[in-house]
């Protein structure tokens, strides 16, 4: 299969906002499900989708917090769901099945980053549970609604941090190797990219397209687990605890950070392209393992064999058979 992982001519770039990307696109009568839609980038994605006429459902672990944050967007529907709880995911999906409405956009946006070692009741490492396993199960359970839409799209939030780690297929949950929060985060973000790649391949007989997204560096609640020392070690803060002048240009506003998600969900330029990892409102280019910049996608995150192997591992570990 020829790789499509190279930039195309886009009308937008790293400075574009989600509102600009949406432009005059009309999403009347379209339905979107946005995980993490009540915080940071997710809330901005919800706002812009609503502004284009879409109906939006936000599944939330903390219902009261979600309703409070989304109070200024009264047309949003908030439903209970916890990505770390398989039964909760099934209950949310069953609710939508009963309503039998096609889902035009599934935005797998929620996530955690660089958290201390935490395990779910299955003893699985929590970053891969929330960032990948939960979204895999949610997409599988909603598939019957997604495939009924005219031209549905699934967008998975990955990150440039995928460069921190490939998938350790022998020890994904750190039962043997020492736990490293950034390595675990990188592994989960690699998983997001590989999931979109394999989902798009398996659904090739449907008009569905799947994408993974690096939104860029944005200061949101996702960094809540990071200490000042963590951010200094990553180069996000200088010795004074401030963003250095040379790094300020790297950070995007929330509107700019949400732009690539909206671009992947709605751009007509992508109608015949899927399974790709995108950044700055364009398809990212494939780069080598020794690439020093923070852009591009590394080989292990766009490898077809890795993608298929991860799909099989995920099905086995969470007990979900995702038949397409």
Positions annotated as catalytic residues are 185
Q: Which residue pairs, CB below 8 angstroms and at least 24 apart, start in 219-224?
A: 219/251, 220/39, 220/40, 220/41, 220/254, 220/257, 221/39, 221/40, 222/40, 222/111, 222/112, 222/113, 223/113
Q: What are the residues whose beta carbons fall under 8 Å from the beta carbon of 230, sequence distance 6 or more?
A: 114
Q: Which residue pairs, CB below 8 angstroms and at least 24 apart, start in 71-76?
A: 73/43, 73/46, 73/47, 75/50, 76/37, 76/46, 76/50
What secondary structure, in 3-state letters, does 250-290 show?
A: HEECHHHHCHHHHHHHHCHHHCCCCCCEEECCEECCECCCC
Tally: H helices and E strands in the chain = 11, 10
DSSP structural state of residue 176: S
């Amino acid at each position: 299969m020829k790789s499509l992982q190279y930039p195309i001519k886009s009308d937008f770039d790293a400075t574009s906002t989600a509102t600009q990307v949406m432009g005059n696109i009309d999403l009347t009568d379209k339905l979107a499900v946005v995980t993490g839609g009540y915080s940071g980038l997710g809330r901005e994605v919800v706002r812009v989708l609503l502004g284009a006429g879409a109906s939006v459902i936000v599944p939330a672990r903390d219902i009261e917090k979600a309703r409070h944050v989304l109070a200024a967007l009264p047309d949003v529907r908030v439903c209970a769901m916890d990505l770390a709880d398989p039964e909760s995911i099934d209950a949310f999906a069953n609710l939508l099945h009963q309503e039998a409405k096609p889902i035009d956009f599934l935005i797998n946006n929620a996530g955690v980053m660089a958290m201390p070692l935490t395990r779910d009741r299955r003893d699985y490492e929590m970053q891969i549970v929330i960032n990948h396993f939960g979204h895999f199960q949610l997409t599988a359970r909603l598939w019957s609604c997604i495939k009924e839409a005219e031209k549905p799209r699934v967008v998975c939030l990955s990150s440039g941090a995928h460069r921190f780690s490939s998938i350790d297929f022998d020890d994904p949950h750190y039962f043997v190797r020492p736990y490293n929060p950034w390595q675990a985060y990188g592994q989960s973000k690699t998983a997001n990219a590989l999931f979109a790649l394999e989902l798009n391949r398996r659904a090739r007989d449907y008009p569905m397209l799947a994408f993974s997204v690096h939104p860029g560096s944005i200061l949101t609640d996702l960094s809540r687990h990071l200490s000042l020392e963590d951010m200094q070690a990553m180069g996000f803060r200088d010795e004074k605890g401030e963003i250095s002048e040379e790094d300020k240009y790297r950070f995007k506003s929330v509107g700019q950070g949400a732009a690539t998600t909206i671009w992947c969900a709605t751009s007509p330029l992508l109608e015949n392209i899927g399974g790709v990892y995108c950044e700055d409102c364009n398809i990212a280019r494939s780069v080598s393992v020794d690439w020093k910049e923070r852009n591009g996608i590394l080989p292990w995150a766009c490898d077809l064999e890795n993608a298929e192997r991860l799909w099989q591992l995920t099905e086995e570990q969470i007990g979900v058979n995702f038949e397409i």
